Amino acid sequence: MELGLDNQFKIDPRTKIILLVIISFMVFNEAPLYVSGILVLVPFICLFFSDYKKAAIIYIFLYVIARYIQIYLLPNTTGIVSILLVTFSYTASRMLPIFVMGYYTITSTKVSEFIASMEKSNVPKEIIIPISVIFRYIPSVYEEIKSITNAMKMRGFGFTTKSLKSPLKLIEFYMVPILISAVKTSDELSAASLTRGLSNPEKRTHLIDAEFNKWDYILLIVSIIGLGIYSYYFIGGVVLA
Closest C-alpha to 229, from 59, 37, 44: 37
* Shared-domain flag, residues 190 and 231: no
* Shared-domain flag, residues 216 and 175: no
Q: Residue 26: CB partners within 8 Å, gap ≥ 6?
A: 35, 36, 39, 226, 227, 230
* Shared-domain flag, residues 103 and 128: no
> Domain residues for 99?
13-109+211-235
pLDDT at site 241: 44
Q: Mean pLDDT throughout 171-189?
A: 80
- Taking each helix axis from N to C end, the angle separating 33-48 and 13-28, rounded to the nearest 10 degrees, works out to 150
pTM: 0.75
pLDDT digits (tens, 9 = 90+) for 89-147: 888 888 888 899 988 988 888 888 888 888 888 888 778 878 877 777 877 888 888 88
* Shared-domain flag, residues 183 and 162: yes
Q: Residue 207: what residue type?
A: L
Burial 23-52 (b: 16+ CB within 10 A, else e): bbebbeeebbeebbebbbbbbbbbbbbbeb
* Shared-domain flag, residues 24 and 74: yes
Q: Residue 214: CB partners within 8 Å, gap ≥ 6?
A: none
Does any domain span residue 4?
no
pLDDT at site 37: 76
pLDDT digits (tens, 9 = 90+) for 181-235: 888 887 887 777 677 666 666 666 666 777 888 999 999 998 888 888 777 777 7
pLDDT digits (tens, 9 = 90+) for 42-92: 899 888 888 788 889 999 999 889 888 888 888 888 888 888 888 888 888
Task: Say how many C-beta atoms besides its own lie within 10 A of residue 167's C-beta.
Answer: 10
pLDDT at site 199: 65
Q: What is Dmax (Cα atoms) for the chain?
A: 64
**Does pLDDT of 151 surpass 50?**
yes
* Shared-domain flag, residues 100 and 36: yes
pLDDT at site 2: 39
* Shared-domain flag, residues 25 and 52: yes
Q: Mean pLDDT throughout 38-44?
A: 85
Q: What is the rounded CA–CA span in Å between residue 236 and residue 89?
A: 28
* Shared-domain flag, residues 218 and 166: no
Q: Model confidence at 162, in pLDDT bands (50, 70, 90)?
A: low
pLDDT at site 31: 65
pLDDT at site 164: 67
* Shared-domain flag, residues 93 and 133: no
Our count of domains for the chain comes to: 2
Q: Report whether 39 contacts 26 (CB < 8 A).
A: yes
